[in-house]
Chains A and B, each alone.
Chain A
Amino acid sequence: MDYMNKKRPQQVVGMAYVPWQNWGELYEPAKALQCGTLFAVLNKPFIGCRCDRKR
């Protein structure tokens, strides 16, 4: 697990990165099935318009 906590190298042009998910806030079972995911950070409902970059 140590290699995941080291300071990440600076991101460079032309490379694709995927932020690392940590064990975080969970939904209740009923809500999880309804939203389609157990993790609140992964619940990305379709809005249909341009969203803020931090979303």
Chain B
Amino acid sequence: MNRRAQTLLALLALALLVLPAFASNYVMSVATLILFFAFTGQAWNVMMGFAGQLSLGHSLYVGVGAYTAAGLFFHYGLGPWAGLWLAILLCVLLGAAIGFLAFRFGISGVYFALLTIAFAEFTRIGFDHIDWLGGPGGLFIKVAQRDQIDLLNFRGPPAMYYYAMLALAAGALALCAWLLRSRAGYYWQAIREDEEAAQALGINTFRWKMLAVILSAAMTAVSGVFFAFYYNNLFPEQIFHISRSIEIILGPIIGGIGTLFGPILGAAVLTLLADGITELMSAFGIEIPGVKQVFYGIVLLVVIMFLPNGIWPTLARRLGIARQR
């Protein structure tokens, strides 16, 4: 990272740290959402961007993570810090099961993607039948005081959730930056570019792909726990739905798959674009339902057509912070 990049990153971090002092609750909620998608996008990026394994079912880990922590809190009063570990464990086991099934039996590419969708879907259907977790009627966590910060039970004002999500997003960025420079990162990139060549060089592709899936699942589980305690109500239909998986992957795709800042930039662009279009339409007095989605689609189409590698690589070059090769 060159000096200019370090300066920009420091400025961004500073801006994000002081944001709650100036921003309204609305801006805070949008910023929290951006950070949430930046974090989950980063988690997905480990699997797809680094190791080249396309998952279209990441809502599975969000949902299982969310329900595990919420269920423990709801039934036993166990705070999210306890539930977090079980959530991670369950998601790691699920990720390992999917990875083992796929990689052991040579399922890859679109077939692997289909497998991830299948797991998310049958988990959704399964959760519809788990009465202990509310079934299709949903699980509602008791909402207590909101003005004082209660870190133990993860209860507090919007700023607390914002800072929690900021810490998670920053942590994910640091972890991914470290991973990319580690042995695992180099192996993953080798597998992503040419798995057979990587195998020929002696890389145990099964092991390293499994690691990518497990790590990605664990990170996404954490976002699920956050989701549960931020929204306080969970419905299988909403949390496991494929549209949530698509939301997760859109950020990295638009921002730049395999890059460190792509998921963050993509999440910011998409969330601001969605809200910006709504605001702009409202300013012009346009009130036609669905028009926003049309504009949104057009903008995405344009980005994908003209910046097929995502926005970040081009932006980084323009800002003069792209790594020199």
- A joins B in a complex: no
Q: Which residues of A contact B (CB under 8 A)?
A: none
Q: Which residues of B contact A (CB under 8 A)?
A: none
